[in-house]
Amino acid sequence: MTRSYYAPQGGLPGQNEALYEPARFTTSYALIPAVTMTDIVTSNLPGWDKTRAWIIARPMTGFAETFAQLIVEVAPGGGATAPEPDAGAEGVVFVVKGTVTVTIDGTARALSEGGYAFLAPGADWQVANASDAPVTFHWVRKRYEVAPGVDVPESFVSCDAEGTLIEMKDTDGGWATTRFVAPDDLRHDMHVNIVTIRPGNRIPFAETHVMEHGLYVLQGRGRYLLNTDWVDVGPGDFMWLRAFCPQACVAEGDTDFRYLLYKDVNRHPGLTL
């Protein structure tokens, strides 16, 4: 399998360009295309040095309810010694460009493109760019939901190439998911996986279920059903899907269509808003 990982380029489109059409924000889904992730929409983060971030999801009324997702770009010598401001948060770091050093409970690990770190709730962790080039990674954050009689998960480090690729039944390898956590491990209340759909293959039915989704296209192109709309998506595009939003997909072109997928799992549905 050939793997590539799209990272935002920054900059600003020229005055002769009109890139309005792809962006969409609806009550059931949002599409934030790669072309909108320019310099002028980045945010600074307290406690982070030489860093900027594209914040592509955050809990708010009418949008993401369970998670936040940031694309973080750290210049050489930058990073954070206390990156997470919420003591009850868990997280995932997934690297799409360069090499970053993530230190968890005193143990430092260098993560390159495709590198993955699960950060347990309350973990003592730091991040630093000790290289001579910028590094870019996704930082997915969720407030951990404690379940009676269920242990809190531990932090771990992995990578895309080491994840367990599980083929969807009856697809002959046309549709598969790289899992970093076993689906039946009730300690985990979120999954951040990688979905791979081979060229010409598809999700052939409209999935409609309780999980909220965040999808960031790592490589390839696809045609994606979001509620009642079919949209063309490619590297760097981000999709948010509300719970129960119908979704399906057709992989197009001659390259595997791959995306980083967040979803909330393994907990009773709450009875309050």
Nearest alpha carbon to residue 217 among 38, 25, 40, 7? 7
| 2 or 4: which leads in pLDDT | 4
What six digits make up the tokens of 165?
């690729």
**From residue 245, how far is each of 60, 62, 180, 211, 248 by CA, in Å?**
17, 13, 25, 9, 10
The torsion of the CA quartet 149, 213, 46, 80, rounded to 10 degrees, works out to: 70
Q: Is the per-residue pLDDT at 75 higher than 90?
A: yes
What six digits make up the tokens of 186?
């009730």
Say how far apart CA 180 and CA 195 lie, in whole Å: 12
What six digits make up the tokens of 206?
């409209």
User: 227-262 pLDDT, tens per residue?
Assistant: 999 999 999 999 999 999 999 999 999 999 999 999
User: 95-135 pLDDT, tens per residue?
Assistant: 999 999 999 999 999 999 999 999 999 999 999 999 999 99
Give the whole-number percent of the chain exceeding pLDDT 90. 90
CA 150 to chain centre: 25
Q: What is the DSSP string of 128-167?
A: E--SSS-EEEEEEEEE----TT-PPPPPEEEEGGGSEEEE
Three-class SS state of 177? strand
Q: What is the pTM of this model?
A: 0.97
